[in-house]
Amino acid sequence: MTQDVSLQVNNLRVHYHTQDQAVKAVDDVTFSLYAGERLGIVGESGSGKSTLALALMRLHKPPAKIEGGEVILGETDILKVNREQMRQVRWSEISFIPQGSMNSLNPVMKIKHQMSDAIKAHQQGWTQQKISDRISDLLGRVGLSNSIADMYPHELSGGMKQRVCIALAIVLEPRAIIADEPTSALDVVVQRVVIQTLNDIQQQLNAAMIIIGHDMGLMAQSVDRLAVMYAGKMVDVSPVSSFFNDPLHPYSQLLISSLPSPDEKRELTGIPGMQPSLLDLPSGCAFHPRCPIAVEKCRQQIPPLRQIEESRRTACHLVEEKLR
């Protein structure tokens, strides 16, 4: 099975430069995003998900700095293009859906102007009529009425704002969309609706999409593949069905067993211990202090992300050895 790759990330490293040392928020991350697929990225808060998402569009702010690696979108490594070329790539090739927060839309600008801004920055030839037709078409697609176009953000509910952001993300039909916790600020009912809208849109466009989140339940229903981040590293990548049926990495196993399940009435266990501070990482595998099966090797060597099966990769010495 060969698939077209939309976005190829190789050995990406992003560090925050604090006074005395570098925080390795994204450490040697490699993954592919295939055309038309939905890739979920999960991980505890502080594991580097947002830093990764921003770096993919080169939107990271100091003290963050990309230390190395490649982000290949289509044919070009966008870490090598100049500022103006990067500006042109943004939104037309890769767009962004922010956290469903109150602040992502400009409070003093009508919705239609925030949408037409994005069009005008990339398409010179469009007439006013074409632009407003496009805007009402998009609002319709995310289930909003056309009258929204003339409103200001404060006149909309959280769910409506997030749908506006989804419509905004597809104005230029990019090949890739990154959504960073698109539903975490919304209440549960609205979350489902927004995720559904997101999925419908993604299928219509056949765009590749990265959905970042920490709600495993929501993820299970909405992504094709799942990647797990732990302390700045990607430690487990797997199709979603095998991830839930037969998780490989011990961290993934704990994540899944900590999920409440409707048929079994058992205590919610959670995961023992805490995620280590990025300033003071344990030696070897960063997860070993919390790992129930860790051995001496885990304390000494950092496990690389290895291909385990056809479509699964895991960074764990023990999984690797068991299969050898």
Partner 1 sequence: MPYFVRRLIMFVVVVIFAATLNFIIPRLAPGDPISSVLEELRARGQTVQAEDDIVAVYRERFGLDKPLHEQYISYLVNTLQFDLGYSISYFPQTVESALLNALPWTIGLLAVSTFMAFALGTLLGALLAWPRAPQFLQGLIPLFMLLSAIPYYLLALLLMYVFGFLLKVLPLGGAYTSATVPSLSLPFILDVIKHGILPGLSITLAGLGFWALGMRGTMVTIQGEDYLTLAEAKGLRDRRIFFGYAVRNALLPQITALAIALGSVASGAVLVEVVFNYPGVGWLLYNALRSSDYYLIQGVAFFLVLTVALAVLVVDLIYPLLDPRIVR
Ligand X SMILES: Nc1ncnc2c1ncn2[C@@H]1O[C@H](COP(=O)(O)OP(=O)(O)O)[C@@H](O)[C@H]1O
Residues that bind ligand X (CB under 6 A): 16, 18, 23, 25, 43, 45-51, 63, 278
Token pair for 91: 């939104």
Which of partner 1, Mg ion, ligand X, none interacts with 216 (beta carbon under 5 to 8 A by kind)? none
User: Rounded to whole angstroms, how far apart are CA atoms 200 and 142?
Assistant: 9
Token output for 204: 């219509």
Q: How far is the CB of 310 from Mg ion (least distance, A)?
A: 31
Q: Which does 48 bind (CB under 5 to 8 A by kind): partner 1, Mg ion, ligand X, none?
A: ligand X
* Residue number, 60 or 134, with CB nearest to ligand X: 60
For 42, phi then psi, to 5°, come to -120, 165
d(CA 238, CA 224): 9
Q: According to CB under 5 A, which one of 30, 50, 123, 136 is a site residue for Mg ion?
A: 50
For residue 106, the partner it binds in partner 1, ligand X, Mg ion, none, with Cβ less than 5 to 8 A by kind, is partner 1
Task: Lay out the sheet containing 5-17: strands in order across.
Answer: 22-34, 5-17, 64-73, 76-77
As measured in angstroms, the least distance from the Cβ of 98 to partner 1 is: 6
Nearer to partner 1, 89 or 148 (CB): 89
State the Cα–Cα distance between residues 37 and 201, nearest whole angstrom: 12
Q: Where are the alpha helices (DSSP H) in 206-270?
A: 216-222, 240-245, 250-257
The vertex-306 CA angle with 305 and 312, nearest 5°, equals 100
Q: How far is the CB of 15 from ligand X (least distance, A)?
A: 9
Tell me how many residues contact Mg ion (CB under 5 A).
1
Please give the C-alpha separations between residue 178 and each of 33, 39, 49, 208, 254, in angstroms, as whole numbers.
11, 10, 11, 9, 27
- Residue with the two structure tokens 């797997």: 238
**Least distance CB 99 / partner 1 (angstroms):** 8
Answer for the pair 107, 153: CB distance below 8 angstroms, yes or no: yes
117 binds partner 1, rule: CB under 8 A? yes
Q: How far apart are CA 144 and CA 59, in angstroms?
A: 29
Q: Does 118 bind partner 1 (CB under 8 A)?
A: yes
The pair of three-digit structure tokens given for residue 100, joined into one six-digit string: 């469903």
> In the structure encoding, which two tokens stand for residue 293, read together?
């099966």
- Residue 121 site contact among ligand X, Mg ion, partner 1, none (CB < 5 to 8 Å, cut-off depends on kind): partner 1
Closest-CA residue to 317 (of 254, 251, 249): 249
Q: What residues numbered 66-105 form the site for partner 1, per CB under 8 A?
A: 87-92, 95-96, 98-99, 101, 103-105
Residue closer to partner 1 by CB (options 34, 96) is 96
| Segment interacting with Mg ion, rule: CB under 5 A, options 18-26, 46-54, 116-124, 294-302 | 46-54
Stretch that binds partner 1, among 9-17, 72-80, 117-125, 287-295 (CB under 8 A): 117-125
Chain positions contacting Mg ion, by CB under 5 A: 50
Q: Which residues bind partner 1 (CB under 8 A)?
A: 54, 57, 59, 87-92, 95-96, 98-99, 101, 103-109, 117-118, 121-122, 152, 154, 165, 168
